[in-house]
Amino acid sequence: MEKSKANMKAILKKLVPFLGLTLMIAVFQVMSDGRLLTKGNLTSILNQTVYVGIMAFGAIFVYSHGGMDLSYGGVIGFSVLISILMANTGIPIVVTFLVSVVSALVWFVLNGLVSVYLNVSPFITSLCIMYMCRGILNTVCATQKYSIPVYMYEYDTWIVKIIALIMVYVICYLLFEKGSIGKANKAIGGNPLAAAQAGINVKATRMTAYLISGITVGIAAFILMLRAGSASTSTGQGLEMNVITALVLGGVPLSGGAKVKMIGALVGSFSVILLRNGLIILGINERVIEGIQGLVLLLLVFLTYEKNKDGIQQ
């Protein structure tokens, strides 16, 4: 009987993110008089979910070992800016894509080296990187916006976005759920000392997680660049909160460990964009929405902390 109850409880925990997403859709659809599921609004939701989801797929590697990263918004803004500047020199679009990935990856290499090998708090390291990237973006874009070449707008298609989303998810899923890198990161999140004693190279594994996350941010930056068409001081602003909220809404415990699942990043990405979009449709001010999102995140983190007695961070 007790085993049956435990199994039922485990199944319910897995279903909570899906039930939450379904409930949000139902509530916002009713309260908005059907405006939530219109074609135009669904297009807007999917557009935003693509790059938030791609970032979340990479971020889950970092958070699974108990890491913390707040640099996503700043790094993606920097990557968009560099990619646009390079694109306007006439380089092929494939090279522009590689520039986007590399420019994001550089910051995540720095992030990993400082936090993993110099033992600086990941929270502090990523916060500093976010401000550095934001400072560069604010300085360069202070007087003007930088736009992509006209021909690049033709690549802002659903074929490109859907293929990118599916490919990144499948690769990250295989690496995280089936590969040794995902299992090792979850083991570190569960107990770093036990993981080390089991033969896992803790530092190398954590560093690999940052590299994967950096690559996904670069891909997301390329998608965002095509959609936005320009870079300004506000590019990427607040995306770090969207990524973290997406993981938590997807049922990812911020302490990491074996309970972290890749599907949570996908469900959570739709959930956080749906939450923000639904509130906008209801006429809620953008600043108030940020407050509501912060409150939701605080509540969910509190619940996660209660379920993980070792604390949120290792």
What is the per-residue pLDDT across 218-241, written as a single tens digit (0 to 9) for each?
Answer: 999 999 999 999 999 999 998 999
Q: pLDDT tens digit string along 38-62? A: 888 888 889 989 999 999 999 999 9
The answer to the question of residue 264 being in a domain is: no
The answer to the question of residue 224 being in a domain is: yes
The answer to the question of residue 42 being in a domain is: yes
The answer to the question of residue 149 being in a domain is: yes
Residue type, 211: L
| Segment 74-83 mean pLDDT | 97
Report percent pLDDT > 70 for the chain.
Answer: 92
| Segment 127-143 mean pLDDT | 95
Q: Are 243 and 63 in contact (CB under 8 A)?
A: no
The span from the CA of 167 to the CA of 170, in Å, is 5
Widest pairwise Cα distance in the chain: 68
Res 9: pLDDT: 60
The span from the CA of 280 to the CA of 270, in Å, is 15
Q: Are 255 and 185 in contact (CB under 8 A)?
A: no
Res 149: pLDDT: 95
- Which one, of 252, 256, 250, lies nearest residue 187 by Cα? 256
Over 90: is that where the pLDDT of 8 sits?
A: no
Q: Which residues pair with 231 in a beta bridge?
A: 146
Q: How many structural domains is the chain composed of?
A: 1
Task: Find the domain containing 195 and state its range.
Answer: 38-236
The answer to the question of residue 297 being in a domain is: no
The answer to the question of residue 28 being in a domain is: no
Q: Which residues pair with 230 in a beta bridge?
A: 147
Other C-beta atoms closer than 10 Å to the C-beta of 78 total 29
The answer to the question of residue 107 being in a domain is: yes
Other C-beta atoms closer than 10 Å to the C-beta of 2 total 6
Q: Which two tokens stand for residue 279?
A: 């509130």
Return all residues near 206 (Cβ < 8 A) that are at least 6 apart: 65, 67, 112, 116, 185, 188
The answer to the question of residue 266 being in a domain is: no
